Chain A
């Protein structure tokens, strides 16, 4: 099965990104595939300028997923509105748009939206 997860909220303020990472990781462990689309404030998680200190590292967890083949895509326009440049984004993350979200919806067997 292919699981699509859409995250609408910022990391750390909300736990949706943590949930998305955990679900995607669990899906992989069970032999499924997973994709994550970062939309609206969710795109903040794409930034490589996030320095969580001793707190849990969402960027490192995202990198681990990317290395395992999970495609994490932020909405490019949402990034523009929030100052998240492609150049400041984590390795392996490429900005896209509605067409990429459309592909996720059409390809995935289940789509889960984590918002407010």
Chain B
């Protein structure tokens, strides 16, 4: 999946990946995609929940060997 900015949160557990995502998203322009890499299993539920709460678009999640790659599109400012 295409993305514009990558955020590595490996080794960080909730709520840090979400907090860092929220901070990084402020640097993106509307329409840009953030790729978040995490090994926190909770991100599978948390990122869609955060997107739903904030109005951003959850594009998908890839899982491989205990590592999760999440794509989020900035929709709101």
Q: Interface majority SS on B: helix, strand, loop or mixed?
A: helix
CB of B43 to closest CB in A, whole Å? 8
Q: Interface majority SS on A: helix, strand, loop or mixed?
A: helix
Q: Are A95 and B50 in contact (CB under 8 A)?
A: no
Enumerate A21-77 residues with CB–CB distance to B below 8 Å: 73, 75-77
CB of B44 to closest CB in A, whole Å? 7
Interface size class of B (residues with CB under 8 A): 10 to 19
A80 contacts the other chain (Cβ, under 8 Å)?
yes
A102 to B41, CA, bound (A): 17
A residues at B contact (CB < 8 Å) = 73, 75-77, 80, 86, 94-100, 102-103, 106-107
